[in-house]
Amino acid sequence: MGWSFKAHGGIALALSAWVLLSVVLAWLPEGSPSAGMTWLVTLGVLFLVGVAAWVRVLLCKADKKMLWLAFRCLPGRLRAVLGVLAVTGVLLTLIGASQEDDLQTDGVEDGRYYVYDTTPLHRGRAEVSRSTYEEVLRREQRSMLPVFGAAFAVIACLVFSAGEVRQADSRSKSAHAKAT
């Protein structure tokens, strides 16, 4: 596998671990060091890394079966790490989705913290304390970001598998050239 595939897959793998770690840290009472990270920024990075991965998969002209066989050729530890990250992302998503909350962050204006209350009888914008706002932000982070962590893990799987397919193709071409 070429160095660019390793770098691209490594970036996706590191982003997956970083997002899932920030979600786990959001469960702590002290909060997460990246509590200010929004899902929109994560979605933008996911889009860029994901599009690049999709282009790589298209360029290697591999179908699902070939990618699966290439994934099985990856080192066992790497497959285990990718699997753990993907499963952790899915589990944290399910746990976060099971916790219902009627408050959503709405923003900070002039040092005042606002949330949007979605309860049926109290629908609307409300001003809250900073600690309440930070707690709502952590809850949102726990429910939204694991999806992105799992997606980054899947992207890393695709990139590493495409790298294996590309490497196998280059070996095949060089063996064919030697034979002729």
Give the start-to-end residue ranges of the domains of the chain.
3-101+147-179
* Strand residue runs (E) in 9-111: 103-109
pLDDT at 119 (0 to 100): 75
**DSSP 8-state code for residue 102:** S
Instruction: State the pairing for strand pair 124-128/112-117.
Output: antiparallel
Confidence of residue 149 (pLDDT cuts 50, 70, 90): confident
Tell me the whole-structure pTM to 2 decimals.
0.74
Per-residue tokens: 168: 């196998």
E strand or H helix that includes residue 36: none
Dmax (CA) for the chain in angstroms is: 78
Q: Is the pLDDT of residue 20 over 80?
A: yes
Q: Is residue 114 within 8 Å of 126, Cβ to Cβ? A: yes
Minimum mean pLDDT among 18-32, 60-74, 158-172: which range? 18-32
- Which residue from 3, 6, 14 is spatially nearest to 161, judged by alpha carbons? 6
Task: Grade residue 121 by pLDDT with cuts at 50, 70 and 90.
Answer: confident
